[in-house]
Amino acid sequence: MILVVTKENEKLVSEVCLENNIEDYQILTTVANLYNFTVTELKSLNNFNQIIIDISSINDTEKQLIDSIVTLKTIYIDLRITILAIGYQEGNTLLSKLFSESIFNFVTSKEYHTQKEELKKCITSGNSYSDSIRYRYKEDNKNIPKSKVIIKKEYSKKRNSVTIGIVGTQIHIGTTTQAMLMCKFLNSIGLHSCYVQANGKKDVEKIAIMNNISEMKDMINYNGIDMYKDFIDNKSTGYDFYIYDYGDIDTFNIDSYITNDIKIVVCGTKEWDFLNISKVFQNEKLNKIQKDIDFIFNFTAKENERNILSGLAELKKNIYFSEYAPNPFDNEKNQNIYHRILKEYIIEKTNQLEIIEKNKFSMKNLFSKRKKR
């Protein structure tokens, strides 16, 4: 049975329940304060397996609302909680805090038709972590050692759900490293991206095992990157950029690869690497779209760059030379390269002056943090 706390959205809930043959629900329009309601009526909620809370209908403070929901989750472990937050946008602090408390069912659209679709999903199958990832806190700029004024550039996407396919001319050429670096870059400028293992390997699973990440369904978050072990639905997961790691050119799924908005081939520059690069031009499907492919060369000596540009003169605008990047999670590597590759999909907005306050640091705080671990 579903309990609905709302004043303004009775019609929305009733229509969704009617269209999905859900008869067992009760609407309360008299709840003004959820915190007080939870305290006084907690025992009476035993009969419900879902609760829908319309936050526009109650006058709780943010803290009261979060405390109430945490109480409900703690006492009723199997109670599915859906938040009606009509018109709220991604990045809203309240929704972010609720997401951090493992609340994944949100209805936020301004369009009535979409509201119905969102609510239907919430009360039928329910949303997963990855379905609602867009409500999570954006990664903060942490560990800045002292106060300083910086110019913070803001970026926005030109369109949703951009797909990037990356393949290497051979194994161990740095395909995964480039995919991770690009994820870190996009996340660092305030855009949401994810890494997708599209090569049949088990690298994501190995990362989970090595880092004692026991709960893994379809994804893990490691070093600030959401990593998926297989292909995902771009329409329902809500990322700005999806970066697909196709492995090496001898084993990859070419039909999937060529459908991506951005196609990248990672190459080496040693003499024995050039035979592998020729595979791109020998492959009929890749050869047809060679001018749409961006080539990133790893491990290139400066004196060799000119020779490569000369030898591939027709593709000169699509050739990039990667910085040395032993750490695949370094968001400062290849920034110029990625800006150029992504120029059609991201736009720089106005610069913003920002004051970063000095972090409080003491030996006492350090020992207290270590003790908690």
d(CA 189, CA 154): 7
pLDDT at 125 over 50: yes
Instruction: Determine the length of the chain.
Output: 373
Contacts of 227 (CB under 8 A, 6+ apart): 194, 195, 197, 204, 207, 219, 220, 221
Per-residue pLDDT, averaged over 143-159, amounts to 56
Full DSSP string of 166-218: EEESSTTSSHHHHHHHHHHHHHHTT--EEEEE-SS--HHHHHHHHTT----SS
Q: Report which DSSP code applies to 278.
A: H
Residue 175 sits in a domain of what CATH number?
Answer: 3.40.50.300
| pLDDT tens profile 288-306 | 999 999 999 987 877 788 8
Whether residues 9 and 64 fall in one domain = yes
Question: pLDDT value at position 286?
Answer: 93
Average confidence (pLDDT) over 39-49: 80
Q: 242 and 162 in one domain?
A: yes
Residue (of 303, 338, 345, 304) closest to 322 by Cα position? 338
Report the C-alpha gap between 39 and 54 in whole angstroms. Answer: 18
Name 4's Cβ contacts closer than 8 Å, sequence gap at least 6.
10, 13, 25, 26, 27, 28, 51, 52, 54
Does residue 81 sit in the same domain as residue 160?
Answer: no
Which whole number is the average pLDDT over 172-186?
A: 94
Residues 220, 83 share a domain: no
| Domain assignment present for 142 | no
Q: Are residues 197 and 245 in the same domain?
A: yes
Structural contact between residues 269 and 304, judged by C-beta atoms closer than 8 angstroms: yes
**Together in a domain, 81 and 209:** no
Q: 135, 169, 189: which is the final residue of a domain?
A: 135
13 pLDDT higher than 50: yes
- Distance CA(203)–CA(229), nearest Å, equals 8
Is 372 inside a domain boundary? Answer: no
Does 359 map to a domain? no
Average pLDDT (20-46) is: 87
**Residue 313: both structure tokens together:** 């003169």
- Average pLDDT, integer, range 362-369: 37
Stretch among 18-27, 216-225, 276-285 having the lowest mean pLDDT: 216-225
- pLDDT score recorded for residue 100: 85
- The reply to whether 118 and 156 lie within a common domain is no
In a domain, 141, yes or no: no
Q: Is the dihedral of CA 24, 111, 90, 88 positive or negative?
A: negative
Three-point CA angle 273, 274, 278, nearest 5°:
125
Which range among 32-36, 106-110, 179-183 shows the weakest confidence by mean pLDDT? Answer: 32-36
pLDDT band at 260 (very low <50, low <70, confident <90, very high): very high
Q: Of 106, 135, 164, which residue constitutes the final position of a domain?
A: 135
The tokens for 123 are 């009360």
Q: Which domain holds residue 282?
A: 151-351
Residue 73 included in any domain: yes
* Residue 333 or residue 153, greater confidence: 333
What is the tens place of the pLDDT at every residue in 196-208?
999 989 899 998 8
Residue pair 166/178 in contact by the 8 Å Cβ criterion:
yes
Q: Give domain status of residue 171, yes or no.
A: yes
Question: Does some domain include residue 143?
Answer: no
Q: How far is CA 345 from CA 107, 187, 337, in A?
A: 28, 14, 14
Of the residues 104, 135, 166, which one is the last residue of a structural domain?
Answer: 135
Whole-number pLDDT of residue 153? 65
For the stretch 339-357, pLDDT in tens is: 999 999 988 765 444 434 4
* Helices and strands, number each (H, E), in the chain: 14, 15
Q: Of residues 271 and 204, which shows the higher confidence score?
A: 204
227, 194 contact by CB (below 8 A) = yes
Could you tell me what percent of the chain has a pLDDT over 70? 88
Q: Looking at the structure, do residues 45 and 192 belong to the same domain, yes or no?
A: no
Count of structural domains within the chain: 2
pLDDT at 356: 41
The CA distance from 193 to 164, in Å, is: 10
Q: Are residues 91 and 156 in the same domain?
A: no
Same structural domain, 193 and 111: no
In a domain, 157, yes or no: yes
Q: What CATH number is associated with residue 129? A: 3.40.50.2300
Tokens (6 digits) for 329: 């999670």
Same structural domain, 103 and 251: no
Q: Which of 56-60, 235-239, 249-253 has the lowest mean pLDDT?
A: 235-239
Contacts of 303 (CB under 8 A, 6+ apart): none
Is the confidence at residue 364, as pLDDT, over 60? Answer: no
On whether both 8 and 103 belong to a single domain, the answer is yes
Q: Which of 51, 49, 48, 4 is nearest to 29 (CA)?
A: 4
